[in-house]
């Protein structure tokens, strides 16, 4: 009986192809909105998660907001590495400057840091070496640059041993970083150079005091211990003023971003669900029209012995099929849209998951049943005498 009802429902849908397509259009648009929007949020979530994971979840970022006229020295920061629960410590600062090589002149971002920064941030060298603690102690004018800086300034990436000018000082290039495309989806177009923090303070005339630094724990299990020890040290160091500094835990950032992205998915999914509800109303409207048009058919079937539940099932299955077919078309178009976004739009990444497709399918089936019940019930309750009157 079910197979027969499905066959009759398909025949009815195919008999009015344009009307059926227009009825499905609401479901198609609703499903596309749901799948594409949630896929974009999933892609953004993955990028952020990968970016944080690439530097590890055992990282603390410390910023000094108010030094209380008693600034933190580089030596004090480096002494924190002696703590058992601490693996690496790296002071960090940045400046915008101009790099020159022969006739080339480019804006560059200078990062002043120490040797441990390489391990903390998980950098990878394409050639040469990174800054060493001896370079920091001696304020050596050496620099490690990214590939974009190498190509823009020198016209090639094999530039170890070359010299460039920064603020009138000559820096020797000792290393070139390997570009990491996994965290951002594209190669950075920004020129970057890493120099000893002491050398940066010398060429910019700034103090050698530390206002920000990174700490990595020995393992993820000791993160809380490290955070408590560092917070306690800074709290005492800056006159017991907790507002004088901030300690940011990378794992906390990941949890916060995950929470925000989950909220975004629910919000966008709710907006898209409105389109599906509108599509459901369209299905109910067309099904009511179909019931009116097929009054004679319903009456004849009842007159020759069709049961009420058979008529109910036929029209309910028809509404459900319209919804499901519209959903499948919407998912197919969504897949093409997601592929197109990933292929042609560099600034947006979309990640289509099986979960969102299952949700879309389930919600579409639910819409089809809910909005198909009333037309099906109306059809099932018609009497043969109504059909005879309609025929006359």
**Which residue, 20, 8, 27, is CA-closest to 276?**
27
As a whole number of angstroms, the distance between CA 346 and CA 237 comes to 46
DSSP letter at 57 equals S
- Sequence-distant (≥ 6) Cβ neighbours of residue 149 within 8 angstroms: 99, 106, 108, 191, 192, 193
State the pLDDT at residue 54.
Answer: 57
44-86 pLDDT, tens digit per residue, is 777 766 665 555 557 888 999 888 888 888 889 988 888 888 8
**pTM of the predicted structure, to 2 decimals:** 0.59
How high is the pLDDT of residue 69? 85
Q: Which residue has the tokens 């997601």?
A: 338
Length of the chain: 392
Give the separation between CA 162 and CA 153, rounded to whole angstroms: 11
Q: Are 290 and 375 in contact (CB under 8 A)?
A: yes
Q: Are residues 162 and 101 in contact, defined by beta-carbon separation less than 8 angstroms?
A: yes
The confidence score (pLDDT) of residue 185 equals: 41
Amino acid 131: pLDDT: 94
* Contact indicator for 33, 277 with CB cutoff of 8 Å: no
With H, G, I as helix, E, B as strand and everything else as coil, classify residue 56.
Answer: coil
- What is the enclosing helix (H) or strand (E) of 283? helix 250-293
Radius of gyration of the chain (CA): 33
Distance of CA 176 to the CA centre of its chain: 29
Residues 280/326, Cβ–Cβ less than 8 Å: no
**Residue numbers of the chain with a pLDDT score lower than 50:** 182-187, 392
- Going from the C-alpha of 110 to that of each of 77, 131, 206, 345, 377, the distances in angstroms are 21, 13, 13, 30, 73
Summarised one tens digit per residue, pLDDT across range 153-195 is: 999 989 999 999 998 899 999 999 987 654 444 445 789 999 9
The angle subtended at Cα 184 by Cα 248 and Cα 54, nearest 5°, is 50
pLDDT for position 375 = 82
- CA dist., res. 13 & res. 124, Å (int): 60
For 360, counting Cβ atoms within 10 Å of its Cβ (0-12 exposed, 13-18 middle, 19+ buried), the class is: buried
Closest CA to 322 of 4, 2, 19: 19
Write out the two tokens for 325.
Answer: 């077919």
């Amino acid at each position: 009986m079910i197979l027969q009802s499905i066959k009759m429902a398909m025949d009815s849908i195919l008999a009015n192809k344009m009307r059926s397509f227009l009825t499905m259009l609401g479901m198609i648009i609703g499903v596309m909105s749901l799948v594409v929007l949630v896929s974009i949020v999933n892609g953004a979530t993955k990028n952020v998660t990968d970016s944080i994971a690439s530097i590890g979840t055992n990282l603390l970022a410390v910023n000094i907001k108010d030094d209380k006229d008693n600034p933190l020295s580089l030596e004090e920061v480096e002494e924190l590495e002696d703590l058992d629960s601490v693996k690496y410590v790296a002071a960090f600062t940045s400046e915008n400057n101009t790099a020159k090589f022969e006739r080339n002149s480019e804006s560059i971002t200078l990062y002043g840091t120490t040797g441990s920064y390489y391990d903390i941030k998980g950098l990878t060298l394409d050639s040469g070496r990174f800054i060493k603690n001896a370079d920091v102690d001696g304020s050596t004018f050496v620099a490690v640059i990214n590939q974009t800086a190498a190509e823009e300034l020198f016209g090639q990436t094999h530039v170890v041993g070359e010299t460039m000018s920064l603020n009138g000082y000559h820096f020797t290039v000792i290393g070139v970083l390997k570009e990491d495309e996994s965290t951002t989806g594209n190669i950075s177009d920004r020129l970057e150079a890493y120099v000893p923090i002491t050398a940066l303070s010398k060429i910019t005339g700034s103090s050698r005091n530390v206002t920000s630094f990174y700490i990595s724990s020995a393992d993820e299990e000791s993160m809380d211990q490290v955070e408590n020890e560092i917070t306690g040290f800074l709290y005492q160091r800056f006159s017991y003023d907790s507002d004088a500094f901030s300690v940011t835990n990378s794992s906390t950032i990941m949890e916060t971003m995950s929470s925000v992205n989950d909220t975004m998915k629910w919000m966008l999914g709710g907006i898209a669900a409105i389109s599906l509800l509108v599509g459901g109303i369209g299905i109910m409207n067309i099904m009511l029209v179909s019931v009116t048009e097929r009054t004679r058919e319903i009456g004849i079937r009842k007159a020759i012995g069709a049961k009420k539940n058979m008529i109910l099932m036929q029209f309910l299955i028809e509404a459900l099929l319209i919804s499901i077919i519209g959903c499948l078309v919407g998912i197919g178009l969504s897949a093409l849209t997601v592929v197109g976004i990933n292929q042609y739009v560099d600034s947006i990444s979309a990640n289509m998951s099986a979960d969102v497709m299952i949700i879309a399918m389930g919600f579409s089936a639910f819409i089809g049943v809910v909005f198909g019940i009333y037309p099906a019930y109306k059809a099932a309750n018609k009497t043969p005498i109504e059909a005879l009157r309609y025929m006359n």
